Amino acid sequence: MRLVSRLANVATAALACVAWSTSEQAPASTSLRATLSEAMKVELRGKQALDHIYRISTFHRSVGSRGYHAAADYVAGAARAAGLKEVEVLTFPVNGSRRILDTYEVGYAWQVEGGELTIDGTDVRLCRYDDVPTCVVEYSAAIDTTAELVDVGAGTASTDYADKDVRGKWILTSSPASAALAFARQRYGVIGVVSYWGNYAPDRGPFPDQVAWQAVPADSSGQLSAFSISARAAAALKRQLADGRVKLHGRIDARVFEGQAEVVTGIIPGKGLPEEEVLFTSHLNHHKPGANDNASGCGLDLEIAAVLTRLIADGRIPPPKRTIRFIWMPEHRGTQLYLDRFRDYARRGIADINNDMVGEDQQECNSVFVLVRTPDSLPTYLNDFLESLAEDVAREQFRSPFGTRNQFHYRSEPYSGAISDHAYFVDGSIRMPALLLNFTPDNFYHSNEDTADHCDPTSLMRVGYIAGVAGAYLASAGAAEGRQLATLTTSAALGRLGRTLADGIAALQREGDIHLAYREARNRLVQAGLREAAAVRSVIRLARELSDDDAVRRMSDHVERVTADHLKALSDAYAAACAAAGTSPTAPQVSTNEETAARLVPVRHLYGPLRFSYLTTRLPEERRAWYERNELPPLAREEVLNFMDGRRDILTIRNAVSAEHGPVSLQAVRRFVDDLISVGLVTVSHQ
């Protein structure tokens, strides 16, 4: 599935005809990529990364727990052994509702010692923490109780509880424990939940013994106890229930407490621009074994660190100009805490490469490698750069001698929200290009079966190549490399623009309001042109002299010219479609609302992304209820905030967001902005 890259190749061919000079491309720039590429292919040891993964996967790594601490200790030791400098374990108190990143809360630590669920009066044990760490739902409270079990089906609607007496009992549910428990405890006084929810179909298809990792909210500590069980166990319970009453004895030895979150970090110091940083992030927390998710990213980053430091020490690659920093942290919370403490990444952050689930044996796990691009609010050369490196792997199919011979399959995917830590860096208040490197789907995702046995040194080596070459390249990139990246980005941009044009023309052929279709298609093309030109110019961040560099300017000008040509072509197509439909083109009308919106410039007073519940809990009921209609989907909300740069007016923001996630209405965007204003996160100035 490499459609995007095929388009890119077409675009590259087209570029050959483009009349800009590439004479500024110094041979040195070619050689940095070639040097890194050759060295990494030879030196990366997928097996070494796998050894780390095995080790890390033996720890149950809940935030603040002994298992997490041991894992952090191991990673810090390995980072030092890898030759990283300034390795330290940063600690952050996690003590409840303390605010971080303006709208997030720091939460609690959780320690589980054991737990098991048995059918009372028999020797049948449904699960035991020692064997299946995921069977105790994360942030469960301690319990040691025997009670009857009631099957409530999904357990998330009143009808599920009709004619059922669940007070003081366990409920059996197909929903996530958190969903059922929140509902049932509040209204019906159940003592705990037994959930057989899985990440795939409820019966887990060919994985009937999989026990899903689940969590309940930590802020309701001391309240909630829940078990996660396999589909097979659930089926057995249902058979027993069909024969009569079933009592379960559930024991959980765990506590929610105020503890410490730990973030491990270490650097390869930069020479020349040490303040600027290229980051490698990988989250270290998760249930045991959590091998691909995400011991794999942690292990791979350790290997990348070891290889880079050794190559630098041996003089085979240049020491980086910028600092390369590795960060191993609890997912989401760790990055929130880190960015809360270190608030200057907007200024000095060059890029973040976030390795999360990067070791999958593609065949066993049924996975495709995915590069998750930055949102349109943050156009960057980084997307195309990493894709070009993925294409190296796809073309050469090199492998670890100790790994599989699987074919490498990859895709480039649009930004998909805060599914991992890259999301915090791309936020509009930080604007640091960040990509997620990830294998998906994964048959064993978030379950007790995510063992290191499913990791593949070949996959690790390949992702290590993409990430490692990219990180080292960016850390040393100067003007020459910037121009090379601009060339790469331009060629890919032209492919995407062509695709946007083609999509727009196709939209005109569909049924519906042809004028509206044209208007949205035109908006998408305009926004794409802005985005792509900005992506080309984003290389300026790598070297100040590029800001008035002829080559870069010519490339971005070319993107703008092609966009203009495409707009003309779209307009022609619109005219032709109108003629065919027996109507005539209409000139775009600017409504009063649009005129008003165009005079309002929102100013954001929010560091970090918005935790949505921060907003909704502060809104009156009727305003909160509006969001359930999803007129402004979550990704669009994120982008409304991200596009607020103090210059864009509300109409401009609406147009940008509508092109990316739309169409969305101006009213919806205004309503959201008004709500943000009402809670003091945004102010507005009138032009």
Partner 1 sequence: MRVHGMRRSRGVVVAVAVLAWSLARLAPVIVAQPQSSCLLAGTDSAAILDELSGIRAKDSVIRLTGFTRTPASSGFHDAVEFLQESLRQAGVPDVHVESYGTDAPQPWSVRRRPGLPSWEVRRAELRSMDPPRRIASFEEEPICLARYSRPGHVVADLVDVGVGVSPADYVNKDVRGKLVLATGYANRVDELAVGGFGAAGVIVSGGSSYSPRTGWGYPDMVNWQVLNPRASGGREPSFAFVISQDEGEWLREQLRGRRTLRLEADVDATLADAPQEVLTAAIPGTSHPDEQVLLLGHLDHVRPSANDNASGSSALLEVARSLQRLIRSGRLVRPARTIRFLWMTEGAGTVGYLNAHPDVGGHTVAALNLDMVGEYLVPGTGPMRLTRTPDSLPSFLVDTVMNMVQHVDTRVVFDPTGSDSLLNIRLAPFSANSDHYTLADGAIGIPAMLLHHAPDPFHHANIDGPDKVDPTEMHRSMFIAAATAYYLARVGPEQLPRLAAEVYGGASMRLGETAREALSLMDGVPVPERDEAYGFADRKLTHVADRELGALASISRLAPEHLPDLKPLASGLTAQATAHRAALASRYVTLTGRRPPLRVLSSGDARAERLVPRKKVRFINERWQQELQVDALTASEREWLTQYMTGTELPQVYIRVPEMLNFVDGRRTLLDIRDRVSSEFFDWSVGDDYAGHYEDMSLAARRIGIDSVLELMRLLEKGELIVLEERK
Asked whether 667 and 592 are in contact (CB, 8 A), the reply is no
Task: Name the residue type at position 122.
Answer: T
Cα-only R_g, the chain? 27
Query: Given candidates 99, 187, 239, 347, which one binds partner 1 under the rule CB under 8 A?
Result: 239
Nearest approach in angstroms of CB 228 to partner 1 is 12
Please state, as a whole number, how many other Cβ atoms lie within 10 Å of the Cβ of residue 477. 27
Q: How many residues bind partner 1 (CB under 8 A)?
A: 36
Position 148 contacts partner 1 (CB under 8 A)? no
If the CB atoms of residues 304 and 435 are measured against partner 1, the closer one turns out to be 304
Q: How far is the CB of 149 from partner 1 (least distance, A)?
A: 15
Q: Verify binding: residue 520, partner 1, rule CB under 8 A.
A: no
Stretch that binds partner 1, among 35-43, 474-482, 620-628, 649-657 (CB under 8 A): 35-43
Instruction: Give the shortest CB-75-to-partner 1 separation in angstroms.
Output: 14
Write down the least CB distance from residue 47 to partner 1, Å. Answer: 5
- Closer residue to partner 1 (CB): 259 or 289: 289
Site for partner 1 in 384-413 (CB under 8 A): 401-402
The tokens of 487 are what? 């060339």
96 half-sphere exposure, CB direction, 13 A CA radius: 3
C-alpha 352/C-alpha 37 separation (Å) is 19
Terminal Cα-to-Cα distance of the chain (whole angstroms)? 47
Segment interacting with partner 1 (CB under 8 A) among 119-127, 261-269, 520-528, 634-642: 119-127
Residue 528 belongs to what H/E stretch?
helix 514-537
* Minimum CB–partner distance for residue 401 and partner 1 (Å): 6
Residues numbered 195-214 forming contacts with partner 1, rule: CB under 8 A: 208-209, 211
CA–CA dist 36, 321 (Å, integer): 15
Separate counts of helices (H) and strands (E) for the chain: 22, 19
Q: For residues 54-113, which are near partner 1 according to CB under 8 A?
A: 54-55, 57-58
Of the candidate residues 40, 43, 261, 522, the single one contacting partner 1 (CB under 8 A): 43
Among 66, 98, 164, 232, contact with partner 1 (rule: CB under 8 A): 232
Give the one residue of 2, 66, 69, 128 binding partner 1; rule: CB under 8 A: 128
Residues 131, 144, 396, 503: which binds partner 1 (CB under 8 A)? 131
Phi, psi of 551 (to 5 degrees): -60, -45
Q: Which of 11, 94, 126, 370 touches partner 1 by CB under 8 A?
A: 126
Query: Which H/E stretch holds residue 257?
Result: strand 247-257
Question: What order of strands is seen across the sheet that includes strand 349-355?
Answer: 85-94, 259-268, 322-329, 273-283, 349-355, 434-440, 368-372, 410-413
CA dist 444 and 362 (Å) reads 12
- Among 71, 101, 226, 452, which residue interacts with partner 1 (rule: CB under 8 A)? 452
Taking the complex as a whole, the smallest distance from the CB of residue 386 to partner 1 amounts, in Å, to: 24
Kindly state the helix (H) or strand (E) to which residue 278 belongs, with its residue range: strand 273-283
User: Mask 526-565, x = binds partner 1 (CB under 8 A)?
Assistant: ----------------------------------------
Tell me the pairing of strands 322-329 and 104-107.
unpaired
277 binding partner 1? (CB under 8 A)? no
As measured in angstroms, the least distance from the Cβ of 143 to partner 1 is: 19
Q: Can you tell me which residue has the tokens 């998750």?
A: 372
What is the sign of the dihedral through the CA atoms of 329, 416, 609 and 97? negative
In degrees rounded to 5, what are phi and psi of residue 500?
-65, -40
By CB under 8 A, which span of 122-130, 409-417, 571-579, 655-663 interacts with partner 1? Answer: 122-130
Would you say how long the chain is, in residues?
687
Q: For 323, phi and psi rounded to 5 degrees?
A: -75, 135
Select the residue interacting with partner 1 from 3, 13, 28, 42 (CB under 8 A). Answer: 42
Q: Tokens 């309002």 sit at which residue?
A: 600
Based on CB atoms, which residue is closest to partner 1, 2 or 232? 232
48 binds partner 1 (CB under 8 A): yes
CA distance 456 to 366: 13
Strand spans (E) along 349-459: 349-355, 368-372, 410-413, 434-440
Return the number of the residue (399 or 654) whose C-beta is nearest partner 1.
399
Q: Which of 11, 15, 63, 132 binds partner 1 (CB under 8 A)?
A: 132
Residues engaged in binding partner 1 (CB under 8 A): 38, 42-43, 45, 47-48, 51, 54-55, 57-58, 122-128, 130-132, 208-209, 211, 230, 232-233, 236, 239, 401-402, 448-449, 451-453
